[in-house]
Amino acid sequence: MGAIRDRLSGAARHGIRLSRVNILLLAVTVISSVGMIIATNRLNSAYQQLIRETGRYIDSQQNAGMVEEFSGNMLSESRSFLQTGDPAHVMAFYSQMDVIRRQLDDGGTPEEKDAAASDRYMAEAVEAFRTLAEQDIYAMRLKAETLPVSLDAYPAEFGAAVIRPEDLALDTEQKLARAEEILDRADYSAIRSRLTERVDASHRAASETVRQQMGVTTGRIRQELLLLRTLVIAFLAIAVLAMLSNLLLIILPINRSVNNLDNREQIPEQGSFEMRNLARVYNEVLRDNTEKQEELEYSASHDGLTGVYNRAAFDKEYDRCRHDRIGIAIIDVDGFKHYNDIYGHDVGDYVLRRVTETIGSKFRKEDHFSRIGGDEFVIIMKNTGSDRSEDIKLKIDEINEELAKERRKGMPPISISVGAAFWDRENPGTDILKDADRALLQMKQNGKLGCRIYGE
């Protein structure tokens, strides 16, 4: 039970393997197909058995009826021959005899012959028929001895019939009397009665046998039909399971993921194991591509050294908001060339990073901070006007005070000069950025280390 629980838990977490489901359905389909073929063959065998049993019954009824009917006809022919002496009656007698023989001896399959022979009533009726036929032939043979007709005019079998010596010694009248006596004897009538009785008994026995056999056969057919019906239901269940498995494990997860795919979003890991594996791989690729895209976008819009926006990002943002309620602060590191020339570019890079960190800590997150040159920075201050001039000056003083505390390898203190302009400045020039740059130039001409507001 624990192992089964673990497997079910694993299937719930990782999804059902559709390949295994298909293999299982295929195996069940093959087994059901083989079962249907076997059931169909057995059903056909039972049906053929039913046909054979019906045919045997019909043949049995026909044989019994024919024996009884032809026995009467042959008796009539033999009596007519005794009365008229016309050889045509003998020919008719043997003609019917041949029909009976062919029907009993030559007709039907070996199985049907065995079935007929197993019916003792029919066998006794046939035996009675043959006894009567022999007596009819003997009586007619005695009659033929009294006629001036050659035996060649009769069938060869009739001519070959042997007359007992004591009967052959009789005169004509005695032979005729003897022939009549044979057909009128009580034992002859008893044999005919026995034939009729055996035929009736054969009818009843054949009907009962066929009824029993057909009961067994129809029962077998019902069983095979039940098996076939069960296999058809199994096929239907397999088809439904295949449809549901494809619907639940493939189609629905794909449909749920279409919008995610269109929006280049991660798709949920659901459905079959294969679908979940595909979703996992896709999500990993998407994450990698997204990260790389973000890295590319970040590299395209940010300065690699300081981490703030670069010149391209500034130009894009400035073009977007240049006519809004903004302020522009252009920042220049005082004596930056001195740091590079005297202390090396490593120190110069450190100075730029330190300046960036300090300035970034004093301004708002919504302000757009960019490095647009070697030691030149620009801040686009959103929703800011001239009423904040003193606040900006105070921020710059605080920044310079914090930078002045930097001491590294005996280098002089770090400081910045700033020129700022606001959207509501007095006597604005053609461009707020140029006005901020003019203010920076004035600040640098007046000793650096501070902030100059355009128009003051």
Based on the fold, state whether residues 322 and 192 are members of the same structural domain: no
Domain end point (choices 227, 252, 285):
227
Domain end point (choices 181, 208, 227):
227
Task: Specify the pLDDT at position 9.
Answer: 53
The verdict on residue 287 lying in a domain is no
CA–CA dist 93, 110 (Å, integer):
28
Based on the fold, state whether residues 331 and 184 are members of the same structural domain: no
CA–CA dist 421, 415 (Å, integer):
20
Please state the domain count of the chain: 2
Angle at 198 between CA 196 and CA 203, to 5 degrees: 95
Based on the fold, state whether residues 216 and 317 are members of the same structural domain: no
Task: Specify the pLDDT at position 371.
Answer: 96
Task: Specify the pLDDT at position 117.
Answer: 44
Structure tokens at 29: 């389909």
Task: Specify the pLDDT at position 110.
Answer: 46
Domain end point (choices 196, 227, 258):
227
Q: What is the pLDDT of residues 109-125, one digit of tens each?
A: 444 444 444 567 777 77
The verdict on residue 441 lying in a domain is yes
Based on the fold, state whether residues 216 and 331 are members of the same structural domain: no
Angle at 85 between CA 80 and CA 88, to 5 degrees: 75
Task: Specify the pLDDT at position 252.
Answer: 75
Task: Specify the pLDDT at position 424.
Answer: 92
Which residue matches tokens 């959207």?
423
Structure tokens at 303: 């300065």
> Please, where are the H alpha helices in 15-119?
18-84, 87-101, 110-117
Other beta carbons within 10 angstroms of residue 245's beta carbon come to 18
The verdict on residue 283 lying in a domain is no
What's the domain range around 12? Answer: 2-227
Angle at 12 between CA 243 and CA 14, to 5 degrees: 90
The verdict on residue 318 lying in a domain is yes
The verdict on residue 27 lying in a domain is yes
Task: Specify the pLDDT at position 113.
Answer: 47
Task: Specify the pLDDT at position 314.
Answer: 95
What are the C-alpha distances in Å from 449 to residues 66, 348, 350?
141, 18, 19
* Residue positions counted in the chain: 456
CA–CA dist 7, 3 (Å, integer):
6
Based on the fold, state whether residues 89 and 198 are members of the same structural domain: yes
Which residue matches tokens 């838990």?
9
Task: Specify the pLDDT at position 203.
Answer: 67
CA–CA dist 272, 252 (Å, integer):
11
Ranges of the chain with pLDDT below 70: 1-15, 17-22, 25, 32, 43, 46-47, 50, 53, 55-57, 59-64, 105-119, 185-188, 192, 195, 198, 202-203, 206, 210, 214, 407-411
Task: Specify the pLDDT at position 7.
Answer: 52
Based on the fold, state whether residues 6 and 115 are members of the same structural domain: yes
The verdict on residue 319 lying in a domain is yes
The verdict on residue 301 lying in a domain is no
CATH code, domain with 325: 3.30.70.270
Other beta carbons within 10 angstroms of residue 119's beta carbon come to 21
CA–CA dist 151, 87 (Å, integer):
10
Residues 6+ apart with CB under 8 A from 66: 99, 100, 103
Based on the fold, state whether residues 208 and 326 are members of the same structural domain: no
CA–CA dist 137, 134 (Å, integer):
5
Entry pTM: 0.49
The verdict on residue 31 lying in a domain is yes
Residues 6+ apart with CB under 8 A from 243: none
Based on the fold, state whether residues 208 and 347 are members of the same structural domain: no
For 90-127, the DSSP string reads HHHHHHHHHHHHIIIIISS-HHHHHHHHT-HHHHHHHH
89 CB-contact burial (10 Å; exposed 0-12 / middle 13-18 / buried 19+): buried
Task: Specify the pLDDT at position 116.
Answer: 47
Based on the fold, state whether residues 82 and 197 are members of the same structural domain: yes
Structure tokens at 53: 């049993």
Based on the fold, state whether residues 328 and 427 are members of the same structural domain: yes
Based on the fold, state whether residues 54 and 193 are members of the same structural domain: yes
